Amino acid sequence: MNSRVRVVRGLMAVLVGAGALALPAAATAAPGEPRFTAGAAGAGDAYFPFTGNGGYNVEHYDLDITYTPPQSAPAPIVGQLDGVATISLVAAQDLDRFNLDLRGLEVQAVTVDGKAASEVTPPAPGEEVEGAAYWHVQDDVARVWELTIQPRPKIKKGQQVQVVVRYGGETTRPVDIEGALYGWVTTRDGAMVVGEPEGSMTWYPVSDHQTDKATYDFQITVPEGKVAVANGLPAQDPITANGWTTWYWDAPDQQASYLTTASIGDYDLRFSETDDGLPIIDAVDDNLTPANAAVTEASLALQADMIAFLEEAFGPYPFNSYGSIVDDDTVGYALETQTRPVYSRVARESTVAHELAHQWFGNAVSPERWQDIWLNEGWASYAQWLWTESSGGDSAQANFDAVMEIPADDPFWAVVVADPGPLGLFLDPIYDRGAATLHALRVKVGDEDFFAAAQEWLTRYNDATGTTEDFEAVYEEVSGQDLDAFFDVWLRTPSKPTAW
Ligand SMILES: [Zn+2]
């Protein structure tokens, strides 16, 4: 994501509400206890306890979505989404029941390996439920959205099953914990879909945490004339019949749920490729202002050069395709959705470099916990510095010096970069102090070790997740230096670094 200014409100209500609900413990069968137990309702992320789920790993999502955008003004900005999600998952424990995350939409039917479950009212804690069943809890105040599925027969550890959820409802404009638009953001001409950190549950049933990466297929049916763009490559040409067009996309690379998109609008689609043959697919809204359209076209024309530049620094581009979606909307920020970042109103050159760098830092290697988000934003911001320097602008050192000119008593320095809290994910220091940390690290270990360690980090944790501690270990290993004091000063001390 690029930097954004955000409103903080209702924090205590949110946190107290979430804390009041106890998470079921991740269960392992002890002697005398039931062998089949419930998967946890969360992936274990301290910032978002009910995000993601335990007890299984998803291998693949097949999302078949039909979407009707809002009517013209003055009709409300409300869309209609109907979906069938076919989810292939493998049990990581003997499962009596398991959860998916789904927010704001209603479930109409659930099957597990073809066996239907019946909808029941949510049982009280400890209350038994007979037979194959499902229930859906949606608590907007506590920010708990959990679809629980009780399959029958029960699922054995290691068993692969196919879960089909038929669901749908009206779509609006959901907001995250800070009050910023995210998820399936309904727009007048379609939808701008940007799910960080846990907004993908607003448009499909999902284990909505990056520790459970999966592959994706999309079939998106929209009124004829609308364009639907998702991750990856077209699986086939769109098919139009009876006033509807179905778009097919295939994303075979491992992908975190927050990086999923299926944006819909009045897009002009362009296909090109890099000198190395990497496909680039851009979708640019017809309705950008002329000034924004001109800036956007100039920036997107640099994508192939930027890919070559970042490959030189960080190794091969990690996915099967690239490109951008530029939507005319009010979301106000860009997101590095995998293989195809989404931009709001305009794609500026520096932001394009930022979202591209995320394909390595954030997407190929994702933060294991949301507290590790500086690993995304620090790197993407540092890549902006590198790109700017390479294209004749300020040097990385000059950008570092500018950060260090911020006075020591400025609140900028009071943020603990490696643990900023759930409302601090997108604060300026995550970006700028994060980038300054990397520059200081580069000076400390030298260029050769700095870039070698970056590539080692990207190789070791590719298609997976890593923590700040994992990152530190790679740099200590490659450089042979003890960097504990360095990282404590830069990442864990809420004051301006003076010596490191
Ligand atoms: Zn970013």
Residue type, 357: A
Residue type, 196: E
142 within 8 A of 17, measured Cβ to Cβ: yes
pLDDT, one tens digit per residue, over 214-239 is 999 999 999 999 999 999 999 999 99
- What's the gap in Å between 73 CA and the centre of ligand 1? 33
What lies within 8 Å, CB to CB, of 223 at 6+ separation is 68, 69, 243, 244, 245
- What's the gap in Å between 350 CA and the centre of ligand 1? 11
The single-letter DSSP state of residue 232 is S
pLDDT at position 4 = 59
- What's the gap in Å between 1 CA and the centre of ligand 1? 3
DSSP result, 122-155? PPPTT----SSEEEEEEETTTTEEEEEEE-SS-B
pLDDT, one tens digit per residue, over 77-119 is 999 999 999 999 999 999 999 999 999 999 999 999 999 999 9
- What's the gap in Å between 195 CA and the centre of ligand 1? 13
Of the candidates 385, 410, 412, 413, the residue with the CA atom closest to the CA atom of residue 399: 385
- What's the gap in Å between 427 CA and the centre of ligand 1? 11
- What's the gap in Å between 110 CA and the centre of ligand 1? 36
- What's the gap in Å between 375 CA and the centre of ligand 1? 10
pLDDT at position 33 = 74
- What's the gap in Å between 398 CA and the centre of ligand 1? 21
- What's the gap in Å between 435 CA and the centre of ligand 1? 11
- What's the gap in Å between 348 CA and the centre of ligand 1? 13
pLDDT at position 1 = 86
pLDDT at position 2 = 82
- What's the gap in Å between 219 CA and the centre of ligand 1? 28
Positions of the chain with pLDDT under 50: 5-22, 27
Distance CA 471, CA 365 (A): 11
DSSP result, 340-397? S-EEES---HHHHHHHHHHHHBTTTEEESSGGGTHHHHHHHHHHHHHHHHHTTS--HH
Query: How far is residue 34 from each of residues 17, 95, 157, 275, measured CA to CA in Å?
Result: 30, 10, 14, 58
- What's the gap in Å between 238 CA and the centre of ligand 1? 31
DSSP result, 205-223? -B--STTS-EEEEEEEEEE
Using CB atoms within 10 A of its CB, is residue 158 exposed (0-12), middle (13-18) or buried (19+)?
exposed
Distance CA 212, CA 230 (A): 19
Of the candidates 14, 126, 93, the residue with the CA atom closest to the CA atom of residue 423: 14
308 within 8 A of 274, measured Cβ to Cβ: yes
pLDDT at position 18 = 40
Query: How far is residue 6 from each of residues 28, 110, 130, 428, 433, measured CA to CA in Å?
Result: 41, 37, 46, 11, 18
Share of the chain residues as helix, strand and coil, in percent rounded to the nearest 5? 25, 30, 40
pLDDT at position 206 = 99
- What's the gap in Å between 383 CA and the centre of ligand 1? 10
Of the candidates 249, 185, 190, the residue with the CA atom closest to the CA atom of residue 215: 249
What lies within 8 Å, CB to CB, of 161 at 6+ separation is 88, 89, 90, 91, 112, 113, 151, 155
- What's the gap in Å between 423 CA and the centre of ligand 1? 16
- What's the gap in Å between 34 CA and the centre of ligand 1? 45
- What's the gap in Å between 49 CA and the centre of ligand 1? 23
Tell me the chain's radius of gyration from C-alpha atoms.
23
pLDDT, one tens digit per residue, over 315-349 is 999 999 999 999 999 999 999 999 999 999 999 99
- What's the gap in Å between 209 CA and the centre of ligand 1? 17
- What's the gap in Å between 43 CA and the centre of ligand 1? 23
Q: What is the token pair recorded at 161?
A: 């099953």
Distance CA 202, CA 83 (A): 12
**Which residues have CB less than 5 Å away from ligand 1 (the ion)?**
1, 377, 380
Q: What is the token pair recorded at 57?
A: 């790993």
- What's the gap in Å between 378 CA and the centre of ligand 1? 8
pLDDT at position 16 = 37
- What's the gap in Å between 374 CA and the centre of ligand 1? 9
Of the candidates 363, 344, 234, 354, the residue with the CA atom closest to the CA atom of residue 303: 354
Does residue 315 come out as left (phi exceeding 0), alpha (psi in the -120 to 50 range) or beta? left
- What's the gap in Å between 333 CA and the centre of ligand 1? 10
The single-letter DSSP state of residue 101 is B
- What's the gap in Å between 412 CA and the centre of ligand 1? 18
H/E stretch holding 439 reads: helix 428-445
- What's the gap in Å between 331 CA and the centre of ligand 1? 15
What lies within 8 Å, CB to CB, of 74 at 6+ separation is none
- What's the gap in Å between 192 CA and the centre of ligand 1? 17
Q: Are β-strands 262-265 and 227-230 bridged in parallel, bridged antiparallel, or unpaired?
A: antiparallel
Of the candidates 279, 288, 285, the residue with the CA atom closest to the CA atom of residue 249: 279
Distance CA 58, CA 89 (A): 4
- What's the gap in Å between 426 CA and the centre of ligand 1? 9
